[in-house]
């Protein structure tokens, strides 16, 4: 395949006029990882401007770690500070009592919930466990999206587990995070995405399998693949370039870079 217009834009470092939604971001410091400028929203927006990223959907590090309540506060505060650029996920900790989880979801209902970010691995809790059920019930009843961490070899949120939940809660959409973290995850994720119309695949990761995106486009629906970078945990430039330089059509690239997430999260 000859280089495309978006490939040339990447090489020129210029994405003016393109919709890019980074649909898998964090925010703030991380306990064992250096994060530039503390990883706070102003620094994230500056990096977005450099890269040509239009919108970032965030779940602060503290939310997926020790304190989801503080993390959700941070996410919504950042969204108020940078309207239209930062969009908050809601995160819950499945180890809390059900009434606490339901109260945390209800706390954000008036401000609007675009989706949920779950991290079964960090919370040490299987994605299909009862502690996550309030999220799935809420999302399914309202047509919302659940992005769940998944990683090659991690049983807490394996693609088959997430896809089984998609079958149980057909009103919600389920995004398999880090769907290209290994060939076993990638291949299984594509199978599950073909089986369930409400299963999506997320590209986030510090690396991508060589030919992984091309495999996804061939073996799954290009309209159900979303771009993510893990910014500020990971510099968003390499993940963005991997999509822009992929051997797929510009139409597919535009779907993956922003149009799919715009539809999925009602942005």
pLDDT truncated to tens, each residue of the chain (267 aa)? 567 889 888 888 888 789 999 999 999 998 888 888 899 999 999 999 999 999 999 999 999 999 999 999 999 999 999 999 999 999 999 999 999 999 999 999 999 999 999 999 999 999 999 999 999 999 999 999 999 998 777 788 888 899 999 999 999 999 999 998 889 999 999 999 999 999 999 999 877 888 999 999 999 999 999 999 999 989 999 999 999 999 999 999 999 999 999 999 999
**Rounded CA separation 261/30 (Å):** 26
For residue 93, is it within any domain? yes
Helix (H, G, I), strand (E, B) or coil at 200: strand
Quote the domain boundaries for residue 106. 21-225+250-264
For residue 106, is it within any domain? yes
For residue 4, is it within any domain? no
Count of domains forming the chain? 1
Kindly write down the DSSP assignment for every residue of 4-49, as one continuous string.
Answer: PHHHHHHHHT--TT---EEEEE--S-BTTB--GGGG-HHHHHHHHH
Q: Note the pLDDT of residue 17.
A: 85
For residue 243, is it within any domain? no
For residue 70, is it within any domain? yes
CATH code, domain carrying 70: 3.20.20.140
Report the Cα 202 to chain-centroid distance in Å: 6
For residue 38, is it within any domain? yes
For residue 233, is it within any domain? no
Q: Note the pLDDT of residue 1.
A: 58
The length of the chain is: 267
**Rounded CA separation 171/138 (Å):** 10
pTM, two decimal places: 0.95
For residue 205, is it within any domain? yes
């Amino acid at each position: 395949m000859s280089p495309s217009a978006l490939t040339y834009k990447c090489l020129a470092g210029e994405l003016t006029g393109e919709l890019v939604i980074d649909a898998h971001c964090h925010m703030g410091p991380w306990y064992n990882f250096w994060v530039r400028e503390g990883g706070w929203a102003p620094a994230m927006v500056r990096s977005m401007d450099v890269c040509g990223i239009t919108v970032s959907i965030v779940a602060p590090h503290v939310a997926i770690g020790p304190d989801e309540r503080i993390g959700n506060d941070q996410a919504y505060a950042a969204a108020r500070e940078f309207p239209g650029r930062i969009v908050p996920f809601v995160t819950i900790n499945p180890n809390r009592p059900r009434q606490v989880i339901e109260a945390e979801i209800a706390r954000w209902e008036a401000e609007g919930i675009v989706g949920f970010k779950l991290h079964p691995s960090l919370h040490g809790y299987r994605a299909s466990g009862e502690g996550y059920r309030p999220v799935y019930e809420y999302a399914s009843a309202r047509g919302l999206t659940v992005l769940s961490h998944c990683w090659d070899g991690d049983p807490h949120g394996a693609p088959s587990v997430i896809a089984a939940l998609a079958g149980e809660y057909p009103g919600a959409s389920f995004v398999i995070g880090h769907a290209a973290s290994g060939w076993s995850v990638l291949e299984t994720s594509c199978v599950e995405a073909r089986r369930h119309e409400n299963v999506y695949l997320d590209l986030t990761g510090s690396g991508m399998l060589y030919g992984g995106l091309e495999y996804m486009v061939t073996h799954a629906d290009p309209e159900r693949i979303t771009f993510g970078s893990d910014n500020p945990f990971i510099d968003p430039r390499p993940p963005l370039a991997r999509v822009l330089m992929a051997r797929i059509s510009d139409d597919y690239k535009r779907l993956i870079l922003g149009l799919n997430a715009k539809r999925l999260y009602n942005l």
